Chain A
Amino acid sequence: MSLRIHRLVRTLAAVAFAGVALPALAQTEIQWWHSMTGALNDRVNEFAKGFNESQKEFKVVPVFKGQYPESMAAAIAAFRAGNAPHILQVFEVGTATMMSAKGAIVPVQKVMTDAGEKFDQKAYIPSVAGYYTTSKGQMLSFPFNSSTPVFYYNKDMFEKAGVDPNRAPATWPEVMAAAAKIKTSGTSQCAYTSGWPSWVHVENFSAWHNVPIATRENGMAGLDTVFQINTPLHVRHWSNLKEWADKGYFTYGGRTNQAEAKFYSGECAMLTSSSAAQANINRNAKFKYGVAFMPYYADVAGAPQNSIIGGASLWAMAGKPKNDYKGVAKFFTYLSDPARVAEWHQKTGYLPITPAAYEMTKSSGFYEKNPGTDVSVRQMLNKPPTANSKGLRFGSFVQIRTAFEEEFENMLAGKQDAKKALDNAVERGNDMLRKFEKTVKE
């Protein structure tokens, strides 16, 4: 009796084991957690499918894990529980958090070298690669979807208001002159709006005017960085925005990308927001529109410099079997193919993160057929990046950015002037930087 049960158990175990073990023997699964929705999600699945069909050894499984902060929180929780994904897509404000998580991540360069895959970080646009590279020159994550803010304007409205639709306003005073005409001519109630207030009006504003956001090369040279965004130039820009808001030239559009809908629905005539908004604008706008460089103040020496990126990169998480990283490396190589980078750029509006992909897109005549799609990359390459414009790296930046946005809203609501708002932003930001410094330092 007991012998029979014993045999039965053994048989069952063997069957179960075979059922589990066989596919694992054939293929190693590579988990890829990401935050791409809609058409972008389809592209991600295509990448995985293409890779899986190109070889037999590994199978990349893309999993949508919610918005950027959600997928990051989920991956961190999974890491603490000992089952992190192999690849995690992290947005640019989470970069410093990931970088200081030694032991939780494997630098992309190490992944590639260990697996014997070719990897040249010089193949990337410097201001993209720089964002994810340590001060010692080691590239930590794999650039994937990078965007930068650009200026959009409604050509039909410009024409109606008597502003030259073939010449985009280049400076902030020109933007406001156009806004005044649009408003007074009764063309539209909303002249100018903007997405991502901190990203556009603090971070990129500083880089574009070649002034620092913070000491220590915007935090890239060390954790002991201090914010410097309450300079007269920053105060001037924020008080201008407040004044324009009071005059009705500037309509506040919220903290994320809600302003984009205000533009493509034909409500607002001008917009500053991500270059990745172009796909949506293209699909929805029932008017002619132009894309141009971000406005600047002409009297600031060195402006315009170059803009900095947003978007996300792919991180290899630590603690997986050695062989798995071979698959991760192979997949990164697959994604690096210039034709794929170029296609991703053309279909999504994200930047062509390698000059090769840019040249390929250029020579294919894509930019002539789709005017405005090259503005973002030209803006990134406008000048060789300086210490002020190669990027930024701040711990707890998600929280800090929210603090900046809260101070911005409190200014627009009339609770404080621009100087006070920016002073508060600096103070609150520095507090959080110090706290972060304390948690990551041994």
Chain B
Amino acid sequence: MEKRVVFRSWWLPYLLVAPQLAVTIIFFFLPAGQAIWTSLLSQDPFGINVEFVGLDNFAALFHDEHYLASFKVTAVFSVLVAGLGLSISLVLAVFADRAMFGAGFYKTLLIWPYAVAHAVAAVLWLFLFNPTLGVVAHWIKGFGIAWDPLLRDNDAMILVVVAAVWNQISYNFLFFLAGLQSIPKSLIEAAAIDGAGPARRFATIVFPLLSPTTFFLLVVNVVYAFFQTFAIIDAATSGGPGNATEILVYKVYKDGFKALDLGSSAAQSVILMLIVIALTVIQFRYVERKVQY
């Protein structure tokens, strides 16, 4: 059966996609083009002395050890955020799906954190983990573990990862729960009758059938870790101590809006854009093959 819809008039399809195209061009292609152009210039903040410098800004970046270190930080941060965010929410979704009593209550509680703005979440966790005032910091110290996110790299990283994951769990949870509920009960029951235990049923039936959801969430979470965690980093650590939590997108902001070095900042955002495009392509080319729709 042919699914294609054929329009009678030639202009109607163009008219129908025009609004979406306009939005994409105005809010994506134009700014992106401008960023690429700015990345090839050297200029003072006010744009009074502008000079075309070719790829100098990019060359300078790859000689800057702090920029290279930021790649490593970003890699660690996004793997942790996407990995923990997905696995914790999957576990929660599986349990919430099984809950007999008060399922609605659990679900509401689990969805709640999504309503909290990123910056607010960061401040909340910052407060809980504050070495002198924070409750959680007090417990950690009670176990005899040193804790100071102001000076210790790993502590700061833990703090921003926890805040970022906590903020994202609800979103992942919702999708996983919906995915779980759409798996036909008959399949699971059939497997149970054949003698498969809960772990085996999950591994051979539930997880593979969830793969479209998981794949979608993987893409969304990587993008989240790369871009939307900006507010969390800014409010919790401002990239410190040293540069220990300075992820790429934070460095773009810091160099562009605080240091007013527009050329370097634009070059960084171009590189960031290329990375995310590359990651998304890889995900769709290779990971998607394993997805069963």
Chain A residues proximal to chain B, CB less than 8 Å: 69-70, 72-73, 76, 79-80, 97, 100-104, 190, 252-255, 262, 267, 396, 398-399, 402, 405-407, 409-410, 412-413, 415, 435, 438-442
A399 touching B255, Cβ below 8 Å: yes
- Which residues of chain B come closer than 8 Å to A70, judged between CB atoms? 257
How far is B47's CA from A100's CA once the two chains are assembled, in angstroms?
12
**A439 with B132: in contact, given A255-B240, A402-B258, A406-B240 (CB under 8 Å)?**
no
How far is B255's CA from A80's CA once the two chains are assembled, in angstroms?
18
- Which residues of chain A come closer than 8 Å to B242, judged between CB atoms? 406-407, 409-410, 413, 415
- Which residues of chain B come closer than 8 Å to A73, judged between CB atoms? 257-258, 260
- Which residues of chain B come closer than 8 Å to A69, judged between CB atoms? 257-258
Can you list 19 A-B contacts (CB < 8 A)? A73-B258, A76-B260, A79-B46, A104-B48, A252-B151, A255-B238, A255-B240, A396-B261, A398-B259, A399-B258, A399-B261, A406-B240, A406-B243, A409-B150, A413-B153, A413-B242, A415-B242, A439-B42, A439-B44
B151 touching A76, Cβ below 8 Å: no
Supplied contacts A69-B257, A410-B242, 9 more A-B pairs, CB within 8 Å: A73-B258, A102-B48, A399-B254, A407-B242, A409-B150, A435-B261, A440-B44, A440-B49, A442-B49
A104 touching B153, Cβ below 8 Å: no
How far is B260's CA from A101's CA once the two chains are assembled, in angstroms?
13
How far is B49's CA from A97's CA once the two chains are assembled, in angstroms?
13
How far is B51's CA from A440's CA once the two chains are assembled, in angstroms?
11
A-B contact count, CB below 8 Å? 80
- Which residues of chain A come closer than 8 Å to B83, judged between CB atoms? none
- Which residues of chain B come closer than 8 Å to A102, judged between CB atoms? 48
Chain B proximity of A132: nearest CB distance (Å): 18
B152 touching A413, Cβ below 8 Å: yes
Flag whether B283 is at the interface (Cβ < 8 A).
Answer: no
Residue of B nearest to A440 (CB): B44
How far is B151's CA from A410's CA once the two chains are assembled, in angstroms?
8
- Which residues of chain B come closer than 8 Å to A409, judged between CB atoms? 150-151, 240-242
Residue of B nearest to A68 (CB): B258
Interface residues of B in 247-262 (CB under 8 A from A): 254-255, 257-261
A80 touching B44, Cβ below 8 Å: no
How far is B254's CA from A402's CA once the two chains are assembled, in angstroms?
10
**A101 with B150: in contact, given A73-B257, A399-B258, A399-B259 (CB under 8 Å)?**
no
Question: Per a CB cutoff under 8 Å, which of B47, B151, B240 touches A80?
Answer: B47
- Which residues of chain B come closer than 8 Å to A402, judged between CB atoms? 254, 258-259
- Which residues of chain B come closer than 8 Å to A442, judged between CB atoms? 49
Flag whether B104 is at the interface (Cβ < 8 A).
Answer: no
How far is B42's CA from A412's CA once the two chains are assembled, in angstroms?
35
Flag whether B43 is at the interface (Cβ < 8 A).
Answer: yes
- Which residues of chain B come closer than 8 Å to A398, judged between CB atoms? 258-260
Question: Per a CB cutoff under 8 Å, which of B151, B255, B258 touches A413?
Answer: B151
B241 touching A97, Cβ below 8 Å: no
A101 touching B44, Cβ below 8 Å: yes
- Which residues of chain B come closer than 8 Å to A72, judged between CB atoms? 260
A101 touching B257, Cβ below 8 Å: no
- Which residues of chain B come closer than 8 Å to A80, judged between CB atoms? 46-47
**A262 with B43: in contact, given A255-B240, A409-B241, A413-B151 (CB under 8 Å)?**
no
Flag whether B45 is at the interface (Cβ < 8 A).
Answer: yes
How far is B254's CA from A85's CA once the two chains are assembled, in angstroms?
24
- Which residues of chain A come closer than 8 Å to B258, judged between CB atoms? 69, 73, 398-399, 402
Contact with A along B253-280 (1 / 0, CB 8 A): 0110111110000000000000000000
**A76 with B261: in contact, given A262-B132, A409-B240 (CB under 8 Å)?**
no
**A252 with B257: in contact, given A101-B46, A409-B240 (CB under 8 Å)?**
no
- Which residues of chain B come closer than 8 Å to A410, judged between CB atoms? 241-242
- Which residues of chain B come closer than 8 Å to A252, judged between CB atoms? 148, 150-151
B48 touching A101, Cβ below 8 Å: yes
Contact with A along B136-165 (1 / 0, CB 8 A): 000000000000101111000000000000
**A439 with B254: in contact, given A103-B48, A252-B151, A409-B240 (CB under 8 Å)?**
no
How far is B49's CA from A101's CA once the two chains are assembled, in angstroms?
9
**A439 with B46: in contact, given A399-B259, A409-B242 (CB under 8 Å)?**
no
B132 touching A97, Cβ below 8 Å: no
Residue of B nearest to A73 (CB): B257
How far is B264's CA from A396's CA once the two chains are assembled, in angstroms?
13
By Cβ-Cβ distance, the 3 closest A-B pairs, closest first, are A399-B259, A409-B241, A104-B46
Residue of B nearest to A103 (CB): B48
Chain B proximity of A397: nearest CB distance (Å): 9
- Which residues of chain A come closer than 8 Å to B243, judged between CB atoms? 406
- Which residues of chain B come closer than 8 Å to A76, judged between CB atoms? 45-46, 260
Chain B proximity of A24: nearest CB distance (Å): 27
- Which residues of chain A come closer than 8 Å to B46, judged between CB atoms? 76, 79-80, 101, 103-104
- Which residues of chain A come closer than 8 Å to B151, judged between CB atoms? 252, 409, 412-413
- Which residues of chain A come closer than 8 Å to B152, judged between CB atoms? 413
How far is B258's CA from A441's CA once the two chains are assembled, in angstroms?
21
B153 touching A439, Cβ below 8 Å: no
Most buried by B among A70, A253, A407, A409: A409
- Which residues of chain B come closer than 8 Å to A101, judged between CB atoms? 44-46, 48
Chain A proximity of B146: nearest CB distance (Å): 12
Question: Per a CB cutoff under 8 Å, which of A79, A407, A415, A439 touches B43?
Answer: A439
How far is B48's CA from A80's CA once the two chains are assembled, in angstroms?
9
How far is B42's CA from A440's CA once the two chains are assembled, in angstroms?
10
Residue of B nearest to A403 (CB): B66
Chain B proximity of A260: nearest CB distance (Å): 13
How far is B43's CA from A207's CA once the two chains are assembled, in angstroms?
32
Chain B proximity of A99: nearest CB distance (Å): 11
Chain B proximity of A289: nearest CB distance (Å): 19
Chain A proximity of B183: nearest CB distance (Å): 48
B45 touching A97, Cβ below 8 Å: yes
How far is B48's CA from A152's CA once the two chains are assembled, in angstroms?
44
Chain A proximity of B244: nearest CB distance (Å): 9
Residue of B nearest to A435 (CB): B261
How far is B44's CA from A104's CA once the two chains are assembled, in angstroms?
11
A439 touching B49, Cβ below 8 Å: yes
Residue of B nearest to A431 (CB): B64
